[in-house]
Homo-oligomer: A and B are copies of this chain.
Amino acid sequence: MPGPVFDRIAIIGAGLIGSSLALAAREFRAAKTVVLYDSSEDVRKRAAALELGDVADTLETACSGADCVILCVPVGAIGETSKALAAYLKEGAILTDVGSVKERALEAMLEQCPAGVHLIPGHPIAGTEKSGPEAGFATLFRKAWHILTPLPQQEEPYNSAVDRLASFWEMLGARVEIMEAARHDRVLAITSHLPHLIAYNIVSTAYDMESVGEGEVVKYSAGGFRDFTRIAASDPTMWRDVFLNNKDAVLETLGRFSEDLAALQRAIRWGDGEMLMQEFERARGIRKAIIEAGQDTDETNFGRNKDGEKD
């Protein structure tokens, strides 16, 4: 078994991803020392009580001497967090993140990143609808894709740093992919950002139906609605930042979605059963492809609690 990839990592932000990362790095021996910091004193206390790692009281204590600093904060907070910790990054350290939008995360970190520090943005395609340090669990990244969006056309020692970071994530169980930041943002707009927006929206619509009480919506939610509420329970701050920071790709994808929905609406209004059948048949094909690609298995984490049990 290979030894730890890093002597010391600093995890900034102890939410679902940060706390899972801390637990996973220790459990899978991917780092000798795991230091955590959170800007909220309350969260720091809870992280310490949960024994997630060495909880530091300041960014300086957290980042000093770290081989790898991982920003686990909402995308909108990446800029100021990078600025606040830049002075404490050591020569040759890796600065990475887990943000769901990569172009803006890259820009925000690039502005602050000192020379001699390797900036390698990243994004794990993993999560649950839960938030906070209590939500973390060590196997969150198992079989999940971890996308790295390194700077283009780099040489050594940068390329070795990318390999090291990839090995770190692989030790946590993830499968690593390299992708250009802009491409990442377009792909995730359809596979993640739009689905979340739609889920939030349908829950809002249900709230506001005067003719159907909230009690009835809750009671009969097993008909399909429930699956949307699970997605819509995800962290509001994180998702606000995603939409504000991947605006162009989200608006483009949303425009197409609304066009397609208008076509279905018209088919319903005019009783065009053939068109509906055609669209519904098509949807089955992509589901089949997902099952065949092994992308829907027991490893699905939505709805799991930190013990890996389904709620």
Contacting pair B286 A214 (CB below 8 A) = yes
Interface of A is mostly: helix
**What residues of chain B lie closer than 8 Å to A129, measured between beta carbons?**
287
Interface size class of A (residues with CB under 8 A): 35 or more
Cβ of A283 within 8 Å of any chain B Cβ, yes or no, is yes
- Is A295's beta carbon under 8 Å from chain B? yes
Query: How far apart are the CA atoms of A250 and B212 in the complex, in Å?
Result: 13
**Interface residue from B190, B202, B221, B296 paired with A311 (Cβ < 8 Å):** B296
**A265–B254 CB distance below 8 A:** yes
What CA separation (Å) do A144 and B193 show in the bound complex?
31
Check if B233 sits within 8 Å of A283, measured CB to CB: yes
A236 CB–B CB distance under 8 Å: yes
- What does the 1/0 interface line of A138-157 toward B look like (CB < 8 Å)? 00000011010000000000
Known: A236-B280, A258-B258, A282-B207. A220 touches B268 (CB 8 A): no
Provide the residues of chain B in CB contact with A237, threshold 8 Å: 277
Q: A2 interface residue, CB < 8 Å from B?
A: no
Could you give 24 example pairs across A and B, Cβ below 8 Å? A144-B222, A190-B225, A191-B223, A191-B224, A201-B261, A201-B279, A203-B287, A204-B260, A205-B260, A206-B286, A208-B256, A209-B256, A218-B289, A218-B290, A221-B295, A221-B296, A226-B295, A227-B230, A229-B283, A229-B286, A232-B280, A232-B287, A297-B311, A298-B311
Interface residues of A (CB under 8 A from B): 76, 100, 125-127, 129, 144-145, 147, 186-188, 190-209, 211-212, 214, 216-233, 236-237, 239-241, 243-244, 247, 250-251, 253-254, 256-258, 260-262, 264-265, 268-269, 271, 273, 276-277, 279-284, 286-291, 293, 295-298, 300, 302-303, 310-311
